[in-house]
Structure 1
Amino acid sequence: MASISASTLLFFSLVFSLSPVILSASVVEDLTKLQPPPDFNSTIMTNCFNNPSLRYCNSSPMDLMEIFRFTIVASHLCNESKNPNCADSFPKIDLRSRPKVAPLYLSFSFFWKYCPLTILLIDLSNNSLKGSFPIEVLNCTQIQALDLSHNKLSGDVPVQSFSSLTNLIVLNLSYNHFSESKMSDTEFFKRFNASSFLHSGLLPDRKKFSMKVVLLLVCFPILVIVTVGCFGCLCLRRPDFLPRMFRRKNKFTPPMLKAATGGFSRKNLVGKSEGVDIYKGVLRDGTEVRIEIYWDDMSRESRRRFIEECKVVTQLCHKNMVQVLGWCNSRRMRAIVTEWMDGKNVEIWISESAPPWKQRLKILMGVVNGMCYLQEEWPEVGYDLRTSSVLLSDELEPLISRFKLGDQSSSSRKIYEFGLFLLEILVNKIPSGHEFQSSEHGFIDHVRMHYPRNLRKVIDEKIKMTERIFDQAEKVIGLGLMCTDQSGSHHHLQLGQISNIITRAYESWDVLDSPVQNRSYVDKGKGHKHTQ
């Protein structure tokens, strides 16, 4: 305390004479058991009257019990300082190497709040103090030296609270575990040399800095290389794991197809022929696909043409065509990936069910519409019109599913194939062992031989025939025969004409006003003339 008066000295004498246990008992026991003497209140009042600079005199309201405890703590610290005049002068708190006592004194916040002004040095070093910085000691703003070294303090140092310690000239925070902060950038930090902060965690550790530099210069490039390598591997093998913006559109890889088919599992194999395996697969995004895999070897030039052709068919967009999603081209395999269709092909649909006349016309109209689209938009793309290769959607829309990439078929050849497709839809299959069964030309001649007089013998018996349907069937079959006529003696129909005829038949069921009327066919090898 600053200039403690004689009455205070008498008070300390009074306290010390209360019991011989006081000096030997702990501070906690003293504070628990002792009560202020009867004249404590008047003594304090007299002290504050004589010396108003005493810090506790400024407390409001004045808590006499706290002041009493403050006095007990001060008396113990006076004894610890071994200063014979401590009641009159209290220059330092020296609790170094007292790990059991130091934390106890730090717990009396009232004492530190009203720290005696005579204290100029606080030494709490080598006490194994734990936890955060003991900010209470900074209430002794008049101190000139503070030593908290060789402890286990951690966390941040309250730099802002040091600003009031204008007289502080000696500081030692060495050998602690404080968090490295921007303390080294403050003006307060610059008042002291590095020895004040050795191994405190506050100084930038050069070894750590060097390690960071090494890690930055060595590990970072390695990390970049590994990251780029992984990214490149994903791009090359499994681009479906990448965001869409990084994927190559329509490009599939063997690992992608392998994953989609469960490792090319047998249970996903839905078709097989020489050199071609057809799988059902599920892409990573859940899309069901049909995958045609070709295992034949191709030259580099052939593979280049294959890719260019695939780029074309992936752009086809029509309701009567299966959507081609992409392709795969590697040294071991080629593949075409299309949307998956659960429906049957036309051949199975005709054989397993009894589709009515108008549904058959709808199939023909859809196929012709797809042909017109390709002729107008993509004339270089050919297609397969066999009933086994034209699929049906759930709405019974025909879907051309096989494209002849780079096909150079003439328009007359395509019309011929449509005519054959038309006849296969409407005419019975030739019984086994029949003389005309061996080829498509034999099939056509078989139909032509019965047209028109014995047409009922060749029309599919599953069609529920009426006179009106029979009349239309006669005209449509005649159209098919005209499309397949390759004799060159007649002018062939154009695709647009065929489309108009089929559409009118489907929409109105009126008698077809077609070029087939008033035409004559001569049965090859028979010499019979049929008038339409």
Structure 2
Amino acid sequence: MASSSISALSLLIFTLLSLSSPLQTLSAASVIEDLNNLHPPPDFNTTISNNCKTNPSLKYCINFNPLNLPEIFKFTIVASHLCNESRNPNCVVSFPAINLQNRPKIAPLYLSFDFFWKYCPLTVSSIDLSNNSLKGNFPSDVFYCSQIQSLDLSQNHFSGEIPIQNFSVFTNLTFLNLSYNSFSESEISDSDELFKRFNASSFIHSGIIPDKRKFKIKALLFLTGFPVCVFLLVIFLWWICFSRPDFLPKFLRKKHKFTPSILKAATNGFSKKNLVAKSEGVRIYRGVLRDGTEIRIETYFDKIKFSREKRKDFVEECKVLVQLCHKNLVQVLGWCDNRRLRAVVTEWIEGESVEMWISRLDPPWKHRVKVLTKVVEGMMYLQEEWPGVGYDLKSSSILLSENREPLISRFRVEDESSCNKKVYKFGVLLLEMVTNRNPREEFEREEAGFVEWVRMHFPENMCSLIDEKKKRAEHMLDQATRSIELGLMCTDMSRGMQPRLDQIFEKLTAIYISILASASPDRKRVHGDRATGHRHIQSR
């Protein structure tokens, strides 16, 4: 630009700027508004024309159009002021550097003047907009200054994709700093040329390329975290499969197999609240499984570990017990086989034992005999289908369901199951229910002493064997006598004269029919029923 032209233009600019406070004290909105309200002076077209003749390399001289004069006018004003803001000595419209480093209030303003970048002076070789917390996408307007040798956009908040292909216009660019921004990571294939021209120091924490330190940290976390996650997953799956398989779908569970953890959860940690009975080495708990099934858990706690053979025998026994299926047997659901805990899990029966039933209600003969008959039915099923299975016939171990159905609840698999012993146990149960005496609590020798006491008083002293209220009717005394006689036959193991189970069933059936007959006004119908000899007695 000619010196005369520069002086005239500078005078115009300073005159315009003197009308208001300095630009740096104005807001962006007011400066833009002032620029829009300013119009080129009448001789501005002549000045620009003379400048282009003198220096045709000026950008606004290329494809000059008089319609662009207002835009060029604004550019000259902004360029002159930016020359001062950039601290360039001997400031003129043509200046060597744009330095707005650490000018967070000024830098966004000048960056918004796209008309300035469009006519960026060719004398500008360096642009420094660093440390201004600038936001948004890459400022593409700087590509208009294609002649620059240095570009510093570091320490900002630029984001999004970098127009890497556009960097080809910077043929003179020797220094580039895009560090500490949040650009999107670029594919290496598209940015190879850029990385060849500039080293990694130009892209530190820029987001353009993976941070090696972060990559190392991620790799370290992956190499350590992945095995740890796999290990924890294996531990979790092991715990699920071997400790709490009840969390698995039914088709993945081992049928009938319970773990200590399942039973512990079902009984709230084997709490005293869930303990329903205990004896030496045996405790019985009530529990609830995850699916809501109520169970009865008979546990055997041992101070010493079981041998492998004993544990194997226990499991084999339980595999037999879960197959038992009869209306007068409690259903065995499964077992728990552990080094320090063995348990047999059965269904929970919401009722009471025969012992409690007799002592609490003192039921009539008819009900007692019916219960005994049902017990024999269960015994006959076991004798025919599972002769190796033993069971406990104590009145405290036989449970009554809600409809008064007796259920044998405790079983065991015996190497040599003796039918004579089972018949003996039933005989004791029969005598206990007839006499209403508890052999385990009232006699020193328990069952043996109880049987001996019954034999000593039978039949001469029947009044001592049965309750007074049961001996008032003659037919009741006869039925009680027949029942005690049957019980003594069952407990007589010395002469080998014990009756078979089917014979016991027939005798009890006859006694039951006799009881019904004595209570029925239609004796003929009852006697007719007796003649048919029904094997199973229906509820009345």
Scaled by the length of structure 1, the TM-score of the pair is 0.68
What letter matches 2:459 in structure 1?
M
Q: Please, which runs of 5 or more residues in structure 1 have no aligned partner?
A: 59-63, 517-532
Kept in 1, the 8 Å contact 2:266–2:287? The answer is: yes
- When structure 1 is superposed on structure 2, of 388-397 and 334-343 the one drifting more is 334-343
- Note the 1:413-428 alignment, pairs <5 A: 413-428=421-436
Tell me the equivalent position of 1:390: 398
What letter matches 1:449 in structure 2?
P
Describe the shift of the 1:319–1:256 C-alpha distance in structure 2 as closer, same or farther (beyond 3 A). same
Tell me the equivalent position of 1:276: 282
Kept in 1, the 8 Å contact 2:158–2:181? The answer is: yes
Matched, 1:439 2:446: no
Kept in 2, the 8 Å contact 1:365–1:499? The answer is: no
Q: 2:99 aligns with which of 83, 89, 95?
A: 95
Tell me the equivalent position of 2:82: 77
Write the distance in 2 (CA, Å) between the matches of 1:149 and 1:502: 113
Matched, 1:106 2:108: yes
Kept in 1, the 8 Å contact 2:423–2:498? The answer is: no
Tell me the equivalent position of 1:200: 206
Describe the shift of the 1:505–1:176 C-alpha distance in structure 2 as closer, same or farther (beyond 3 A). farther
Tell me the equivalent position of 1:295: 302
Write the distance in 2 (CA, Å) between the matches of 1:346 and 1:112: 101
Write the distance in 2 (CA, Å) between the matches of 1:329 and 1:449: 50
What letter matches 1:28 in structure 2?
L
- The C-alpha deviation readout for 1:214-233, integer Å capped at 9, x for no partner, is 44445543554455456546
Write the distance in 1 (CA, Å) between the matches of 2:132 and 2:514: 97
For residue 94 of structure 1, report the CA deviation from its aligned partner: 1.6
For residue 381 of structure 1, report the CA deviation from its aligned partner: 2.0
Q: 2:176 aligns with which of 165, 168, 172?
A: 172
Describe the shift of the 1:505–1:75 C-alpha distance in structure 2 as closer, same or farther (beyond 3 A). farther
- Name the SS for the 1:128 alignment partner: coil
- Name the SS for the 1:204 alignment partner: coil
Write the distance in 2 (CA, Å) between the matches of 1:122 and 1:472: 126
Kept in 2, the 8 Å contact 1:269–1:279? The answer is: yes
Q: 1:351 aligns with which of 341, 344, 359?
A: 359
Write the distance in 2 (CA, Å) between the matches of 1:314 and 1:206: 63
Q: 1:308 aligns with which of 316, 326, 329?
A: 316
Tell me the equivalent position of 1:494: 502
Kept in 2, the 8 Å contact 1:323–1:338? The answer is: yes
Kept in 1, the 8 Å contact 2:358–2:436? The answer is: no
- The structure with the largest helix share of the pair is 2
Kept in 2, the 8 Å contact 1:174–1:198? The answer is: yes
Q: 1:513 aligns with which of 509, 530, 534?
A: 530
Describe the shift of the 1:73–1:404 C-alpha distance in structure 2 as closer, same or farther (beyond 3 A). same
Kept in 1, the 8 Å contact 2:389–2:417? The answer is: no
Tell me the equivalent position of 1:528: none
Tell me the equivalent position of 2:520: none
Describe the shift of the 1:214–1:140 C-alpha distance in structure 2 as closer, same or farther (beyond 3 A). closer
- The C-alpha deviation readout for 1:12-42, integer Å capped at 9, x for no partner, is 7544312437684416258637746977289
Describe the shift of the 1:299–1:118 C-alpha distance in structure 2 as closer, same or farther (beyond 3 A). closer
Kept in 2, the 8 Å contact 1:175–1:198? The answer is: yes
Q: 2:161 aligns with which of 158, 163, 167?
A: 158
Write the distance in 2 (CA, Å) between the matches of 1:243 and 1:124: 66
- Name the SS for the 1:311 alignment partner: helix
What letter matches 1:513 in structure 2?
R
Kept in 2, the 8 Å contact 1:280–1:288? The answer is: yes
Matched, 1:334 2:342: yes
Kept in 2, the 8 Å contact 1:367–1:398? The answer is: yes
Q: 1:28 aligns with which of 26, 29, 40?
A: 26
Kept in 1, the 8 Å contact 2:317–2:413? The answer is: yes
- The C-alpha deviation readout for 1:132-178, integer Å capped at 9, x for no partner, is 4543x21455443596647333574423x555666245473443143
Tell me the equivalent position of 2:39: 40
Describe the shift of the 1:325–1:154 C-alpha distance in structure 2 as closer, same or farther (beyond 3 A). farther
Kept in 1, the 8 Å contact 2:282–2:301? The answer is: yes
For residue 266 of structure 1, report the CA deviation from its aligned partner: 5.4
Question: RMSD of the alignment, in Å?
Answer: 5.6
Tell me the equivalent position of 2:190: 187
- Name the SS for the 2:106 alignment partner: helix
Q: How many residue pairs were aligned?
A: 496
- Note the 1:53-72 alignment, pairs <5 A: none
Tell me the equivalent position of 2:54: none
Kept in 1, the 8 Å contact 2:455–2:488? The answer is: no
Kept in 2, the 8 Å contact 1:138–1:162? The answer is: no
Write the distance in 1 (CA, Å) between the matches of 2:43 and 2:364: 117
- Note the 1:208-247 alignment, pairs <5 A: 208-218=214-224, 220-225=226-231, 227-229=233-235, 232=238, 238-239=243-244, 243=248
Write the distance in 2 (CA, Å) between the matches of 1:56 and 1:269: 103
What letter matches 2:394 in structure 1?
R
Fraction of identical pairs, as percent: 36
Kept in 1, the 8 Å contact 2:156–2:181? The answer is: yes
Describe the shift of the 1:490–1:187 C-alpha distance in structure 2 as closer, same or farther (beyond 3 A). closer
